[in-house]
Amino acid sequence: MIDTHMHADSRSGEDFEKMYLSGIDTAITCSYYPYKIEHEMILLNHLNRILELDTSRAKEHGLELKVALGIHPTNSNVNPEKIFEMLYQWIENEQIIAIGEIGLEDLTNTELNIFKQQLDIADETKSKVIIHTPRKNKKEVIAEILKILPQHLDEKQAVIDHINPKVIKDVINTDCMLGLTVQPQKMDKTEAISILDEYGFDKFLLNSDISNKPSDPLSVPKTIRELQKKGYEKKEIAKISHKNAENFFNLNNI
């Protein structure tokens, strides 16, 4: 199994061990600094910590961490130029599998500009992006993302994450992959399965988004086991369990 979106820097080694023992072999950890940032070097230290420390911590417990780095919209109050410079370096050195998570939260001009610039970097470097959508004003923010995205990047290179039943109709006809986040206060496994029931398994990735907020490190295997208990076809379960993620992020060739 692959958990396609988490924040390893805010989780313990015990969580990594639980994930591994539950059948998660690989997880994708994304950037998100939950505290006030006074200077871009604080954010850069956060990104380097993910890349260098958290991958090593997870490996000690059997979990392989793949890394996505970028400027989360809630961290967009910093001077982004040094981060952009490092993104090019990380991509060139094949240290990251995507730029992420990026996106919009409050629709400020700063957020919009940094989001567009990171999409342009992804387009230039042929990188994938993981796009955050917020808990509040989700429909409004998604409408803005869908307006901006095709002007800067091929939709086939993007995951729009944290999709739920209230907004699925807004995104289902795009060429983007769609992330289903099973997390307390966001969406439960029954709601995620209802989306798969209606729209099939081909366009979706599954994740826990575990972070410093209320989280369940086992939400991905719990959802997969529920699908198995309910008798869904093995080949369909395999798509949401790992195959879609392997294909989208090209993990088999890394």
For 95-149, how does the pLDDT look when each residue is reduced to its tens digit (9 = 90+)? 999 999 999 999 999 999 999 999 999 999 999 999 999 989 999 999 999 999 9
Query: pTM higher than 0.85, yes or no?
Result: yes
Q: Name residues of the chain where pLDDT drops below 50.
A: none
Q: Where do runs of H (alpha helix) occur along the chain? A: 13-21, 40-49, 55-60, 81-92, 109-125, 138-152, 168-171, 189-199, 219-229, 234-238, 244-249
Among residues 177, 174, 187, 181, the alpha carbon closest in space to that of 143 is found at 174
| pLDDT of the residue at 86 | 97
| pLDDT of the residue at 193 | 98
Cα 16 to the chain's mean position, in Å? 17
| pLDDT of the residue at 33 | 87
- The count of C-alpha atoms lying within 13 angstroms of the C-alpha of 22, restricted to the half-sphere facing its C-beta, is 23
Question: Helix (H, G, I), strand (E, B), or coil: what is residue 215?
Answer: coil
Six token digits for residue 20 = 């591994």
Domain spanning 2-253, CATH class = alpha beta
Question: Helix (H, G, I), strand (E, B), or coil: what is residue 178?
Answer: strand
Question: Domain segments of the chain: what residues?
Answer: 2-253
- The count of C-alpha atoms lying within 13 angstroms of the C-alpha of 43, restricted to the half-sphere facing its C-beta, is 28
Strand partners, 6: 29
| pLDDT of the residue at 254 | 61
